[in-house]
Every structure is written in C-alpha cells, then in structure tokens.
C-alpha cells in the first residue's frame, strides 16, 4: 500500500466511522423523526446541514474542474447555484415552512389535489434519481483512484455506506451526519487551497491571490491551444450561458431535497436564520472554487508543457489507471491539453479529477491528499442521503400512504420507505457506474428537471390563487416531459444518437425553457377551466398575508396561526 493509499484509508475509515456512529445514535422509529427530525434542529446546525446537502460532489469534485477548462464561461455554475439558493431562501422556503408540510408533493397535494400530488411525487423521484447518479459516480471516482478500487467497486462501497446511515436515522440521522460531513469537506477543500496559494503566489488567501496569475494563465493556455481563461463567451454562446444560469437558479429553488431541509427547524424564524447560516457556509467554498480551478490549471499546464511522454509527472500515471486521464498514442511530447477526447489533444483530462488531483499536481504531502479524498466522499455522501430520503418519502408518504393504504401505521410506512430507499440505491448504482456526462453536468440535468417541474407549480401555488389542479398538473407533465425529451435528444443515453443543439441551447440550459413552457401551460389551462375552491384560495391568502383569517375549520388555519406565533409574516 502506497503512502497516499494509507492516509486516504485512515481518513475515510475515520470519517465513515463517525457518520455511522451518528446515524446509530440518531436512529428513529416514527415518521415525523424520519422525515423532518421532529422540527427540532438548531438553526446553525441546520445551516451546516443545508450547505452539505446542497454542495454535492458536483460542487466539491467537479465545479473547479469545469472552471479550469471553461474559464469565465464556467461562472454559470457559480452564479446559477448561489443565486438559486438566495431565490429559494427568500422567495419560497419561508412560505413552505409556514405551510408546515413534510414534502414538496405534500404541499402540492394540499394546494391543488391528490392527483397533482401523485404527479409531483413521480417528478421528485425522477429528479432525485438523476441527481443521485452524479453523487454515486463522484464517490466511485474517489475510491477508484485513492484506494486502488475499480469504479464499480467504489460506487458499491459508497452506496452501501449511504444506505446504512440514511436507513437508520432518517432525516434526524442525516442532518447530524451532514453537519459532520460539512466540517470534513470544508476543511479538506480549504487546506490544499491555502497551501497552493502560498506556494504559487506567496500569499495564503486563495480568493485574493489567484487574480495575480490570470495573465500568466491566459498566456500559457494560448500556447497550448486553449481558450483564454478570462475571455467571456469563448466556449459558450451568450444565450446558452443565460439559460444555463437561469435553469440552475430556478432549479435550485425547486429542488425537493433542499426545500425539505427548511421543515426541520422549530420555527419560521429559525428557517430564515438557517438560510443565513447556510449561505455563509456555502460562500466559503464557492468563493474558493475559482481560485482552486485557476491554480490547478496553472500547475497542470506548467508541469506538462513540452514534457516528453516518458517524463510526465507521476500523478498522470496514477490517474491514467482510472481511465480519467489519457495520452494520445501519437504524442511524443505534450503540446496540447483538453478535457474532451474528441479534441485529439496530446493529453486528455477529465474535469472531475482536478480538485482531487490538485494536491498531487502541486506536490503536497500524502496526508493532505488523503484528506481531500475524504472531503470528496463527504460531499457525495451528504447529498446522496438527502436525495434518497426524498425518494423514500415520495414512495412511502405520497404514494403508499396517500394512494394505497391510508390506514398504514408508522412502522408500516417506515418499512415501505426503507424498502424504496434500498431499491433506489440499486438503480443509482447501475446508473452511477455509467453516467451520461461529468458529475457537475449530470447534476445540472437534475436542476433543469426541477426548474421545469416544481418551480412553476410552487410559485404559482403561492402567488397566484387562480392556478388550479388541472393547470398545475398539465404544466408539470408538459414542462418536465419537454425538458427530458430534449436532454435525451441531445445526449448519448439509452442507446440514442446525440443530435445537435437547437438554437445553441445545451441540455444543461433547456430547463429554463421547460419552466417557461410549464408556466404558459399552467396559466392557459387554469384560465380555461374552473377556478380552485374558495377554501383553497383562502388557504393561499392566509399563508401569504397572516392578517387575513382563514375560514373556520380550514386545515391551514392552525398552520397560519402557528406561523404568526413562531415567526411573524413571511
């Protein structure tokens, strides 16, 4: 066993042990604890858990790699994801928390009807499956490189660990595990970033010092056939950058596994405070990612430029064994670098390895390399657990309990939820071994699906009383169906042939168009059909304007009063 493998094993075993111990101590036997942790999570802890849940393997493993190769065009991921979180925290989360429902489909079901709940639950499962594929693949990448295990074996191990602590503790166990995972991932991200910044510039604050290397990075990139790092719209047309940013923003505001986290606080005010803490914790990583991308790319290019193939750095040979780095058989020296094999470059590097390989590229010691591996696993595990809980709650709570067996007790509902989680893990393993794109791009597909399905239904449900069940259901089905169809059309998945983009719109950006389609269909159908019942309109009024008293006996009257006593107007 190499020194890197030894330290990686130590950090991963220790961190996994902590996660499983927390899950065991937090194990539950009732649905309220399993799905919303009895609304008893402190605000700072909930903020850390939200940050860990939201910052997936895409943020930790893949985003800096995309920034390294896309340059300023990669800023769509920074702007879309962070802007979307603010949109969610300010526009949607307080209202849903005040409504007091377990899941997004439950909110949709009460706002519209049970048919729309079923449609929303199906959409939640599709979105969560897509998202969890990226997390499984990210975990497999860590294991395949640092522990010498194949990608398949790595995905299997990651899935097994996630299943154990998600099944034991539900939301309660997942929440406290995510607090630990955030601690691990942010330490693992910052330590090498600070070390590399000091090594390259002599100033240890990466968010500041990386600006001093951009001119040098532009020059060396141009010499090696790459676009200038700071040039805007060098690799993506403006329309697509706008649509990708918008899709990521409104997709974030519609993600069921993030929204449900705002139900775990004690009060509406606590939900707002959680949003503040989460944004702070997220900003620590997101302001560091551009620096990590720039420093890693500079070290990478300087280390391989004009180097003979038989004299390349050892880290390239290490990663070549995973299949994520490849050298052209015709190359004698490295004069060009790309992240796509189709470019025919001398050296091809997968986006998803750059953060994990950054300490090796910079020549940092083995303990830091092992710590980064543990951080990558923490990021993948934290989000995957939240996604599996959404799948579990959708099957158990929204399908089984609401549609099949309404007399089911807590034990039966939890059993069904845990079985659904196990089946979801199996499907995610299969897809995670052969994902359709880079980790961040797979996650972007899930955001596009959320944008085209949940976001319009939630926004119209809160802010337009006239929206009815038929309009909401039609909007979700048409918007999501349109988005998925375009993604399959433009991607090489399910054995299909990839087609050219229409109007330069990538599959990562089509969710914004799908959301517009959803809004249009929902509004037209609602206008052409009868309005919602009077008591539904009064429920919506009560959630938005607490001074308006809900109809006596309305199921949300007590929720509205509780919202006023807990946190005031939203």
The more confidently predicted of residues 135 and 28 is: 135
Rounded to whole angstroms, the Cα distance separating 505 from 480 reads: 16
Neighbours of 324 (CB within 10 A): 19
Greatest mean pLDDT range, 142-151, 246-255, 545-554: 246-255
Greatest mean pLDDT range, 138-147, 340-349, 431-440: 340-349
**pLDDT at 553 exceeding the cut of 50:** no
Rounded to whole angstroms, the Cα distance separating 452 from 512 reads: 7
The fourth-level CATH superfamily of domain 3-295+365-532 is: Sodium/glucose cotransporter (1.20.1730.10)
Strands 337-338 and 325-327: unpaired
pLDDT at 555: 40
**pLDDT at 225 exceeding the cut of 70:** yes
Neighbours of 552 (CB within 10 A): 6
What is the pLDDT of the chain when averaged over all its residues?
Answer: 82
Mean pLDDT over 159-183 rounds to 75
Domain boundaries, the chain: 3-295+365-532
Q: Which percentage of the chain shows pLDDT scores above 70?
A: 88
**pLDDT at 33 exceeding the cut of 60:** no
Rounded to whole angstroms, the Cα distance separating 83 from 252 reads: 9
- Tens digit of pLDDT for each residue in 55-87? 877 788 888 888 888 888 888 888 888 888 888
pLDDT at 32: 55
Strand partners, 337: 347
- Tens digit of pLDDT for each residue in 36-54? 555 567 888 888 888 887 7
**pLDDT at 34 exceeding the cut of 70:** no
Distances from the Cα of 205 to the Cα of 86, 177, 197, 535, 544, angstroms: 25, 29, 7, 56, 44
pLDDT at 513: 97
Whole-number CA gyration radius for the chain? 24
- Going by pLDDT thresholds of 50, 70 and 90, the confidence category of residue 567 is very low
Answer whether 224's CB lies under 8 Å from 301's CB: yes
The more confidently predicted of residues 259 and 171 is: 259
pLDDT at 440: 67
**pLDDT at 179 exceeding the cut of 60:** yes
pLDDT at 438: 60
**pLDDT at 569 exceeding the cut of 60:** no
Rounded to whole angstroms, the Cα distance separating 51 from 250 reads: 17
Greatest mean pLDDT range, 103-112, 156-165, 257-266, 458-467: 458-467
Q: Comparing 112-116, 167-171, 346-350, 433-437, which segment has the lowest mean pLDDT?
A: 167-171
Q: What are phi and psi of 112, to 5 degrees?
A: -110, -90
* Helix, strand or coil, per DSSP, at residue 469: helix
Secondary structure letter of residue 147 according to DSSP: S
Terminal alpha carbon distance of the chain: 56
Q: What is the DSSP string of 502-526?
A: BTTB-TTTHHHHHHHHHHHHHHHHH
Vertex 164, ends 161 and 168: CA angle to 5°? 150
pLDDT at 197: 94
Secondary structure letter of residue 310 according to DSSP: G
**pLDDT at 563 exceeding the cut of 50:** no
Rounded to whole angstroms, the Cα distance separating 93 from 90 reads: 7
pLDDT at 495: 60
pLDDT at 402: 79
**pLDDT at 174 exceeding the cut of 80:** no
- Tens digit of pLDDT for each residue in 467-505? 999 999 999 999 999 999 999 898 876 566 778 899 999
Neighbours of 375 (CB within 10 A): 28
pLDDT at 196: 93
Q: Which percentage of the chain shows pLDDT scores above 90?
A: 30
pLDDT at 561: 37
pLDDT at 457: 94
Q: What are phi and psi of 325, to 5 degrees?
A: -130, 135
The more confidently predicted of residues 512 and 392 is: 512
500: which 2 tokens? 């050219």
- Going by pLDDT thresholds of 50, 70 and 90, the confidence category of residue 421 is confident
Mean pLDDT over 260-281 rounds to 78
- Tens digit of pLDDT for each residue in 272-298? 788 888 889 999 999 999 999 999 999
The more confidently predicted of residues 568 and 498 is: 498
Mean pLDDT over 92-121 rounds to 81
- Tens digit of pLDDT for each residue in 376-411? 888 877 777 777 777 887 888 778 887 788 888 877
């Amino acid at each position: 066993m190499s020194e890197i493998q030894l330290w990686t094993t130590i950090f991963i075993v220790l961190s996994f042990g902590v996660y499983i111990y927390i899950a065991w101590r937090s194990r539950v036997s009732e649905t309220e604890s399993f799905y919303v942790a009895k609304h008893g999570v402190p605000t700072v802890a909930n903020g850390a858990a939200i940050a860990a849940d939201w910052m997936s393997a895409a943020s930790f493993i893949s985003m800096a790699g995309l920034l390294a190769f896309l340059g300023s065009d990669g800023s769509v991921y920074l702007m879309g994801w962070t802007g979307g979180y603010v949109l969610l925290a300010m526009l949607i989360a307080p209202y849903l928390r005040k409504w007091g429902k377990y899941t997004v489909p439950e909110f949709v079901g009460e706002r519209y009807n049970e048919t729309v709940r079923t449609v929303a639950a199906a959409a939640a499962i599709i979105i969560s499956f897509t998202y969890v594929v990226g997390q499984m693949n990210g975990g497999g990448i860590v294991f395949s490189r640092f522990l010498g295990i194949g990608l398949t074996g790595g995905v299997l191990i990651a899935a097994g660990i996630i299943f154990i602590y998600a099944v034991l503790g539900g939301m309660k166990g997942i929440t406290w595990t995510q607090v630990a995972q955030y601690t691990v991932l942010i330490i693992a991200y910052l330590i090498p970033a600070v070390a590399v910044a000091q090594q390259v510039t002599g100033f240890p604050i990466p968010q500041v010092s990386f600006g001093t290397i951009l001119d040098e990075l532009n020059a060396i990139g141009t010499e090696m056939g790459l676009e200038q790092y700071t040039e805007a719209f060098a690799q993506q047309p403006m329309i697509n950058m706008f649509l990708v940013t918008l899709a990521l923003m409104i997709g974030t505001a519609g993600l069921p596994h993030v929204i449900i986290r705002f139900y775990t606080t004690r009060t509406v005010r606590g939900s707002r405070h959680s949003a503040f803490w989460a944004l702070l914790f997220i900003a620590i990583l997101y302001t560091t990612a551009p620096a990590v991308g720039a420093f890693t790319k500079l070290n990478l290019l300087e280390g391989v430029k004009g180097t003979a193939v038989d004299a390349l750095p050892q880290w390239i040979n290490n990663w070549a064994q995973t299949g994520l780095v490849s050298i052209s058989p015709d190359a004698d020296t490295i004069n060009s670098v790309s992240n796509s094999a189709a470019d025919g470059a001398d050296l091809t590097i997968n986006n998803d390895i750059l953060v994990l390989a950054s300490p090796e590229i910079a020549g940092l010691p083995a303990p830091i390399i092992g710590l980064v591996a543990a951080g990558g696993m923490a990021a993948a595990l934290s989000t995957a657990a939240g996604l599996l809980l959404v799948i579990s709650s959708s099957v158990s709570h929204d399908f089984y309990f609401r549609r099949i067996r309404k007399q089911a007790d807590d034990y039966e509902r939890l059993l069904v939820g845990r079985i659904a989680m196990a089946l979801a893990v199996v499907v995610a393993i299969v897809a995670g071994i052969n994902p359709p794109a880079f980790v961040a791009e797979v996650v972007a597909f899930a955001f596009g699906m959320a944008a085209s399905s949940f976001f319009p239904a939630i926004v119209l449900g809160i802010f337009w009383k006239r929206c009815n069940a038929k309009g909401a259901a039609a909007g979700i089905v048409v918007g999501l169906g349109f988005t998925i169809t375009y993604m399959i059309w433009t991607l090489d998945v399910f054995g299909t042939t990839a087609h050219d983009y229409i109007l330069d719109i990538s599959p990562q950006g089509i969710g914004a168009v799908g959301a517009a389609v959803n809004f249009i269909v929902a509004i037209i159908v609602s206008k052409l059909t009868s309005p919602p019942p009077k008591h539904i309109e009064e429920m919506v009024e009560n959630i938005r304007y607490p001074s308006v008293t809900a109809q006596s006996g309305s199921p949300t009257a007590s929720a509205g009063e509780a919202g006023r006593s807990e946190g005031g107007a939203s």
